[in-house]
Amino acid sequence: DAGITQSPRYKITETGRQVTLMCHQTWSHSYMFWYRQDLGHGLRLIYYSAAADITDKGEVPDGYVVSRSKTENFPLTLESATRSQTSVYFCASAASLTYEQYFGPGTRLTVT
Amino acid sequence: QKEVEQDPGPLSVPEGAIVSLNCTYSNSAFQYFMWYRQYSRKGPELLMYTYSSGNKEDGRFTAQVDKSSKYISLFIRDSQPSDSATYLCAMSEGSGYSTLTFGKGTMLLVSP
What are the tens digits of pLDDT across the range A39-94?
A: 888 899 999 999 999 999 999 999 999 999 999 999 999 999 999 999 999 999 99
Measured at the CA of B6, the angle between CA B1 and CA B9, to 5 degrees, comes to 130
CB contact under 8 A, A40 and B99: no
The minimal CB distance from A43 to the residues B34, B46, B88 is found for B88
Residue B61's CB: how many other CB atoms inside 10 A?
Answer: 17
| Average pLDDT of the segment spanning A97-111 | 91
- Measured in angstroms, the CA of A41 and the nearest CA of chain B are apart by 6
CB contact under 8 A, B102 and A43: yes
- Main-chain dihedrals φ then ψ at residue A110, nearest 5 degrees: -120, 125
Q: Which strands form A19-25's sheet, in the order they lie side by side?
A: A4-7, A19-25, A76-78, A64-66
The confidence score (pLDDT) of residue A1 equals 59
CB contact under 8 A, B99 and A106: no
Chain B neighbors of A90, CB-CB under 8 A: 43-44
The residue with greater pLDDT, B54 or B79, is B79
Chain A neighbors of B46, CB-CB under 8 A: 100-102
- Measured in angstroms, the CA of B98 and the nearest CA of chain A are apart by 7
- pLDDT tens column, B13-40: 999 999 999 999 999 999 999 999 999 9
Closest by CA to B27, choosing from B52, B4, B51, is B4
B103 touches chain A (CB under 8 A): yes
| Arithmetic mean of pLDDT over chain A | 94
Chain A neighbors of B45, CB-CB under 8 A: 103
Confidence grade of residue B62 (pLDDT, cut at 50, 70, 90): very high
Chain A neighbors of B96, CB-CB under 8 A: 97
The minimal CB distance from A105 to the residues B32, B34, B42 is found for B42
The confidence score (pLDDT) of residue A38 equals 94
The confidence score (pLDDT) of residue B6 equals 95
Which residue from B minimizes the CA distance to A43?
B102
CB contact under 8 A, B92 and A41: no
Q: Which residues, including other chains, have CB under 8 Å from residue A65's CB and lie 6 or more apart?
A: A76, A77, A78, A79
Q: Which range is least confidently modeled, A32-41, B13-22, B95-104?
A: B95-104
Rounded CA-CA distance B39/A94 in Å is 21
Rounded CA-CA distance B62/B33 in Å is 13
